[in-house]
Amino acid sequence: AMQRSGGMLLKLLNDALDLARIEAGRLELEPAPFEPRQLLEDVVQLEQGLAHAKGIRFVLEVAEDLPARLLGDALRIKQILLNLASNALKFTEHGKVTLRAQRTEEGLLLSVSDTGPGIPEASQARLFQRFEQAEGPQRRVGSGLGLAICRELVEMMGGSIELESRLAHGSTFRVRLPLAVPASSVPVAWAPGRPCHLLLVEDDTIVATVIRGLLEREGHTVVHVVNGLAALAELAHADVDAVLLDLDLPGVDGFQVARLIRQRERAGQHLPIVAVTARSGSGDEAKARAAGMDGFLRKPVSGERLADALARVLGGADAPMPA
């Protein structure tokens, strides 16, 4: 019960924060190459537990001509699909929920269909407004912000979202996104031939434990220090392949640490540095680059995003700095 309540509280908070960032113009998209099939499979895997518990099927249908890679904000696209899939599963008691993806001339068409009770026509127009929910026994579960956030995110991407529903015949949400095929051949995920020795500079022990666990699961060895001075001391006597650097450290902050590392490097040396931060400001990435950092990750991070960042800073000096 505590886990479920905590999870619901976290979702309510995240929904409110997302809308606040959108209103303030502080929420920025971070487009990068991603694998759409893997993203879709991740959504199905995350929602499969609820489908199984309710005794309904969750089906994935992917067109054969779907590009292997697309350019877009994979995290926000996944957020949209998770919102739509969760709603479909929440209101469907029998039958199935189907997630479909196909290529269009403009980019990508995603749809989530269910065999639920359907939505009255009078309710459909206001469903994308804030704090609005469909009538039903599950009305009290959720914030009523999910579809409003979906609409805002889709519009930020230059796309559109529409609803088709009939009472007793289920509902279908369609999302059209203008996503291009990336020209770069840099792989999204990277599996190095040898384990890397990494330095993690992070003052939050819980965040450090999560990041360290994700890295060690991939076979890397990680040395963790809690401040910038300890990081400089570690680098003075140990060789590392890359540094994962929090920007908001006690005492000497991450920007100063990066500058000091660059100042100490001899000709021909370049230690890859990836910024890992909870900051949401629009100028932080530029400041990190100016301080000498090669990569930029916003918390919370995933194993996939860590692997992608390491692939770019270790696998190609000319690769664009990941967001």
Based on the fold, state whether residues 230 and 302 are members of the same structural domain. yes
Based on the fold, state whether residues 168 and 58 are members of the same structural domain. yes
Based on the fold, state whether residues 220 and 158 are members of the same structural domain. no
Based on the fold, state whether residues 26 and 131 are members of the same structural domain. yes
Region of 145 (left: φ > 0; alpha: ψ -120 to 50; beta: rest) is: alpha
Based on the fold, state whether residues 130 and 227 are members of the same structural domain. no
Sign of CA dihedral 154, 111, 127, 92: negative
Residue 171 within any structural domain of the chain: yes
Residues in the chain: 323
CATH number of the domain that 28 lies in? 3.30.565.10
CATH number of the domain that 250 lies in? 3.40.50.2300
Based on the fold, state whether residues 203 and 158 are members of the same structural domain. no
Cα dihedral: 173, 176, 182, 183 (round 10): 150
Based on the fold, state whether residues 157 and 15 are members of the same structural domain. yes
Confidence at residue 21, expressed as pLDDT on a 0 to 100 scale:
79
Residue 309 within any structural domain of the chain: yes
Provide the 8-state DSSP code for 195: -
- CA proximity to 94, closest of 165, 164, 170, 172: 170
Q: Residue 31 sits in which domain range?
A: 2-177
Q: How many CB atoms lie within 10 A of CB 9?
A: 10
How many domains does the structure of the chain reveal? 2
Strands (E), the chain: 32-34, 57-62, 70-72, 96-103, 108-114, 160-165, 171-177, 197-201, 221-225, 242-246, 273-277, 295-298
SS3 content of the chain, % helix, strand, coil (to 5): 40, 20, 40
pTM as predicted? 0.58
Residue 322 within any structural domain of the chain: no
Per-position pLDDT tens, the chain of length 323: 677 667 667 777 777 787 787 777 778 888 888 889 989 998 898 888 889 999 999 999 999 999 988 999 988 899 899 989 998 999 899 999 999 999 998 899 999 999 999 988 877 767 766 544 554 444 444 446 778 888 889 999 999 999 999 888 899 999 999 999 887 544 444 444 468 999 999 999 999 999 999 999 888 999 999 999 999 999 988 889 999 999 999 999 999 999 999 999 988 889 999 999 988 777 888 899 999 999 999 888 888 889 888 988 987 433 444 44
Residue 182 within any structural domain of the chain: no
